[in-house]
Amino acid sequence: MELIIGMLPFLVLMGIMYLLMIRPQQKRAKETQNMLSSLGKGDSIVTIGGLHGIVDEVNETSNTVVIDCEGIYLTFERRAVARIVTKASASGTQTEELGTNTPEKTADSE
């Protein structure tokens, strides 16, 4: 009986550690896996390096994605996608332009 009472604080501590640390981590990992599996052509994404682009191709066998960044096509591991900004429309691919780096002309600059 004394052995059980002596181990009770340790067991309670392990239970609290599971609830506060391990369970939320498992939940985040499951959400990330669901996000990566729902990745499709035309989705606007951000990579873990901060690169914004539109998914052009998803290769299931090699687990890679090809991203279109203003006409430059880059291949990344699927797990390099940090988040999906917008999903592609169901009717077709997304035609959103990402913007340009050229400054706009104003009346003051002429």
Residue 35: which domain range? 2-94
pLDDT score at 93? 46
Report residue 95's pLDDT band, with 50, 70 and 90 as the boundaries.
Answer: very low
Structure-block tokens of residue 48: 């873990």
8 in any annotated domain? yes
Q: What's the rounded Cα separation, in Å, for the pair 103 and 109?
A: 11
Q: Is residue 64 part of a domain?
A: yes
Beta strands 44-47; 52-59: pairing state: antiparallel
Q: Which residue pairs, CB below 8 angstroms and at least 24 apart, start in 91-95?
A: 92/42, 93/41, 93/42, 94/42, 94/43, 94/44, 94/54
Number of domains present in the structure of the chain:
1
CATH of the domain at 14: 2.30.30.30
Whether residue 98 contacts residue 71, with contact meaning beta carbons closer than 8 Å, is answered with: no
pTM equals 0.62
Q: What pLDDT is recorded for position 2?
A: 83
Q: Does residue 107 carry a pLDDT above 80?
A: no
pLDDT value, residue 53: 94
Is 105 contained in some domain? no
Considering the domain boundaries, does residue 71 fall inside one? yes
Q: Is residue 74 part of a domain?
A: yes
Residue 106 lies in a domain: no
Residue 99 lies in a domain: no
Question: How far, CA to CA in Å, does 78 sit from each of 33, 55, 67, 81?
Answer: 10, 11, 11, 6
Whether residue 81 lies inside any domain: the answer is yes
